[in-house]
Structure 1
Amino acid sequence: MSSTVIESGLTPAEARARRLLALPAVLVGMGSVQIGASLAKLLFPVLGAIETACARVVLAAIVLLLLARPWRRGVRLFPGRTAAITIVAYGLSLAVMNTVFYAALSRLPLGITVAIEFMGPLALALAGSRRALDLLWVALAVGGLLILLQPWQFVGGHAGHPLDPVGILLALTAGVTWALYILVGRRLGGQVEGNTATALGMAIAALAVLPFGWSVVPNLAIHPALLASAFGMAMLSSAVPYSIEMMAMRRMSTRGFSIMMSLEPAIAAVAGLLLLGEHLSPMRWLAIGGIVVASLGSAAAGDALPPPAPPPD
């Protein structure tokens, strides 16, 4: 995507106005994702983390397939061998990313989980950079992560409240799969139309997670209130933000979109505080701030974070 977006048929003033309107839309999209994550965490005691992830992916796949309707466009399920392999890889990365993220979220506060996971796309943005200034962003990101994890608290006999080590490992795994999924999604974007690629990828993800969360199906089938909550969680976490971000990316520069997305860990921490009552220590707020500043600096300097939402990919 070029650094300036001018939509066809619009004057420069109209294009500028539409780009400005896209800014609050991105904030709404990020807020929707974190509200959905908060709702998911509230469902964990009833459904389980893996089962909740399964419900999210399956319900989102159904909605996205109904919206994209690839069968109405004459698109085969696998449009060519190369695209088929990429779609499967894309769907599997979505499945793993969602599952391990929810598993981490069941053990860690929302803001901390997202901040750790965000290190994946941040590392991808900084990879291969050659500017001296980027050393500052790397130092901020690493320093923020160290303050966030506080590894010295794992030393025997040290007073404190260390984070769950399994949760940390799961969050880091989610970050790695986030970065991999961005790379695969970028490649897929050049092979299959965006809506169709997202719908087919989510369908593959649903098939991948269903064997691990099959027990959620009868629970949702016999409890309409649970089904409504799970559906709302899936829409807030997937369909709504993906649609908003697709619209925004057509109206904003890659750098501008990336700068906005850099606020994701902070928004997650605020959502965790307001919706889940997850209070973080001042040091951990400072750590999240350091990761956000590193992301902002990297994006503003030109190393834009790749778009994390499936539709633009």
Structure 2
Amino acid sequence: MPSPAASASAPRVGALFAIGSMSCVQLGLAVSVGLSEQLGPTGVAWLRLVWAGLILLVVARPWRATFTRKAFWTCVALGAATAGMTVFFMCAVMLIPLGTASALEFLGPLGVAVARGTGRSRLWAIVAAAGVIALTEPWHGRADPIGILFALGAAACWGVYILLTQRAGDSVEGLNALAVSIPTAAVVASFTITPALFAKLDLTVLLAGLGLALLLPLVPFILELLSLRRLNTATFGTLMSLEPAFALVIGAAILHQIPTPLAVVGIALVITAGIGATRTGARS
């Protein structure tokens, strides 16, 4: 049984893991945009997942672990959700600003928080909807509708990913859950590429893909797994509320995507809704 001091520190440690994950994710996405112009968004997503899967297979060697049938298929399902989240979001950021895509994707964890929250959660859903409207400004038609659909697809996958990650982390030791889910994600993502991609994979591109795999998804997914072992899904969702803000800052600094004042208001509303819809506290 954990000591009271360890139980008290668990939320703080979990929060640090989550913040580190968000920083790596947004930085990795910003860097990936440049490579996407050469390989396409699905090609970059696939290359990152392949490298991450190979690294995890070598490091974790999941074939030595013992899985129950339920735990194994949970990890496989997690891999499918990971692939969808990675590919959809990479396609989205090629069509709409990083901050907008991140705020729309956040509707996934927000939905988890609302579903598991109290009766007041509907109020925060309305606030989030207002934020999305401010972000997309449908009356102007400026935001690419296909980009919005990709971001919403990533949001759905992220909501499923959060639930499955916690379940896998509870039932599988160490990195074995990721060592099954990430290679599975690479296999699923391979259905989104064409044979023409392989002609573009020279040494420079492969090394760039390896670096991106460490930055996204390998390190963030490990940090999220460690975070979800210390926090309940509501607390994790609260912390993820900050991700659009990270995306806004990194998008402006690296990609020179300066948001409109209304977009800033929209992101603030989504963040507020996420914080309001979730509860704090460590997992029992």
TM-score tier, shorter chain, comes to 0.7 to 0.9
Whether contact under 8 Å (1:52, 1:216) holds in the other structure is no
- Alignment: residue pair count: 282
| Range with bigger deviation, 234-243 or 34-43 | 234-243
Post-superposition offset of 1:238: 1.5
User: 1:177 aligned to 2:136?
Assistant: no
Q: Tell me which of 103, 110, 127 is aligned to 2:115.
A: 127
Q: Tell me which of 191, 197, 200 is aligned to 1:219.
A: 200
Higher normalized helix content (fraction of residues): 2
Whether contact under 8 Å (1:147, 1:287) holds in the other structure is yes
Provide closer, same or farther for how the CA distance between residues 122 and 251 of structure 1 changes in structure 2, counting only shifts above 3 A. closer
The CA deviation string for residues 162-183 of structure 1, in whole angstroms up to 9 with x for no partner, is 1111101111111112223333
| Range with bigger deviation, 35-44 or 191-200 | 191-200
Distance, in Å, in 1 between the alignment partners of 2:166 and 2:223 is: 18
**1:141 — aligned with what?**
128
**2:87 — aligned with what?**
99
Distance, in Å, in 1 between the alignment partners of 2:218 and 2:157 is: 20
| Range with bigger deviation, 23-32 or 39-48 | 23-32
* SS class of match (1:153): coil
Write the mapping of 1:1-313 to structure 2, written as runs, cut at 5 A.
Answer: 8=2, 12=5, 16=8, 20=12, 23-73=15-65, 75=66, 79=67, 81-127=69-115, 129-131=117-119, 133-154=120-141, 162-193=142-173, 195-213=175-193, 214-220=195-201, 222=202, 224-251=203-230, 255-300=234-279
**1:158 — aligned with what?**
none
| Range with bigger deviation, 109-118 or 177-186 | 177-186
Distance, in Å, in 1 between the alignment partners of 2:13 and 2:250 is: 23
Distance, in Å, in 1 between the alignment partners of 2:233 and 2:161 is: 18
* SS class of match (2:140): helix
Whether contact under 8 Å (1:94, 1:202) holds in the other structure is yes
Provide closer, same or farther for how the CA distance between residues 196 and 217 of structure 1 changes in structure 2, counting only shifts above 3 A. farther
Q: Which TM-score applies when normalising by structure 2? A: 0.87
Whether contact under 8 Å (1:68, 1:199) holds in the other structure is yes
Whether contact under 8 Å (2:166, 2:228) holds in the other structure is no
Structure possessing the higher radius of gyration over alpha carbons:
1
Task: Output the amino acid matched with 2:48.
Answer: R
Post-superposition offset of 1:27: 2.2
Distance, in Å, in 2 between the alignment partners of 1:85 and 1:281 is: 44
Distance, in Å, in 1 between the alignment partners of 2:274 and 2:250 is: 19
Distance, in Å, in 2 between the alignment partners of 1:18 and 1:186 is: 15
* SS class of match (2:36): helix
How many percent of aligned residue pairs carry the same amino acid?
34
| Range with bigger deviation, 142-151 or 247-256 | 247-256
Q: Which TM-score applies when normalising by structure 1? A: 0.80
Distance, in Å, in 2 between the alignment partners of 1:253 and 1:135 is: 20
Gaps of 5+ in 1: 1-6, 155-161, 307-313
Distance, in Å, in 2 between the alignment partners of 1:31 and 1:23 is: 12
